[in-house]
Amino acid sequence: MASQSPRRAPFIVIEGLDRSGKTTQTSRLYARLKETGTQANLIKFPDRTTTIGQMIDSYLRSASELDDRAVHLLFSANRWELASMIEKSLIAGTPVVCDRYAFSGITFSGSKVNSEGEPLLPFEWCRSPDIGLPAPDIVFFFDITPEKAKERGGYGEERYEKEEMQLRVRDSFHRIGREMGTTWVTIDAGRERDQVEQDVWKLVEPLVKEGVDGPVTKLWT
Ligand code: Z5A
Ligand code: MG
């Protein structure tokens, strides 16, 4: 009888709009998994700790200037730095919980416009450097209205934290979501922290318990 290949751990991504609570909920999910006996790996993009991440950090804080294409490629390279770690972790049975991923890369760069309001970078160009990255098994898209985001202290001081930009980003996330199909789960992130946590947990708990069949798939291949 052919031996059954072991099931691997899931790759869980929380994506979404600014101030939607991604960092809050990835931390809660990580802690809840730990409490229930599962040690996960928690990662975040941009990962500002690496050399590439420090260049991104400086750009986001407007402490340096970079060509729009160059910074887009740095965001993608920052993910590729962790790609093999993600894959190894999943195969070894350790779930990966990730705060923002390639979808943020496409939506933010693709939402930059010139003074006439025309896109600076084509959508397909923005997507191409992330093709082949480990694909998430589930993406929670945290949706929030600009009004709710404002109640949480506004968009902050960084480069992309402006309302017109955020509205274009929101449209772009909705477009990607339609293309992603069933792995994309939209969450109303304008509710109480505990309600959002509960919705995420309802889908993550069985995924972690049962594991995932088959190899780690690749994004957009
Ligand atoms: N970017 C890009 O251009 N290309 C890429 O490839 C990637 C990113 C990966 C920095 O990202 C920028 O990089 C970002 C996208 C771009 N630009 N913008 N704009 P970041 O991830 O480092 O951004 P951040 O500083 O972590 O902010 P954030 O992600 O927007 O916030 P959040 O993680 O979604 O929310 P939070 O920190 O968990 O919560 C925000 C506040 O709301 C905080 O005070 C919480 O206590 C509060 N909160 C959280 N949940 C709730 C609920 N449910 N109710 C009330 N209050 C809440
Ligand atoms: Mg965050």
Q: What are the structural domains, with CATH classification, of the chain?
A: 11-210 (3.40.50.300)
Ligand nearest to the CA of 193: 1
Between CA 217 and CA 212 the distance in angstroms is: 11
Residue-wise burial string across 69-101, b where 16 or more C-beta atoms lie within 10 A, e elsewhere: eebbbbbbebbeebeeebbebbeeeebbbbbbb
Is the pLDDT score of 63 beyond 70?
yes
pLDDT at 191: 97
Residue 5 pLDDT level (bands cut at 50, 70, 90): low
Least confident of 2-6, 137-141, 168-172: 2-6
Is it the case that residue 171 has pLDDT exceeding 70?
yes
> Ligand 1: residues within 6 Å at CB?
18-24, 45-46, 60, 75, 100, 104-105, 108, 152-153, 158, 160-161, 192-193, 196
Identify whether the C-beta of residue 213 lies closer than 8 Å to the C-beta of residue 6.
no
Return the pLDDT at 3: 54
Which tokens is 107 given? 């939506």
Distance 23 CA to ligand 1 centre (A): 6
List the Cα angle 116/120/121 in 5-degree steps.
Answer: 155
Of all protein residues, the one whose alpha carbon is nearest to atom 22 of ligand 1 is 46
Torsion of CA 83, 85, 89, 92, to 10 degrees: 110
**Among residues 133, 142, 126, which one has the least CA distance to residue 25?**
142
The amino acid at residue 35 is: E
Pocket test for ligand 1, best of 13, 15, 17, 22 (most atoms within 8 A of CB): 22
Which class for 27: exposed (0-12), middle (13-18), buried (19 or more C-beta within 10 A)? middle
Q: List the one residue out of 1, 17, 14, 55 whose CA is nearest residue 144.
A: 17
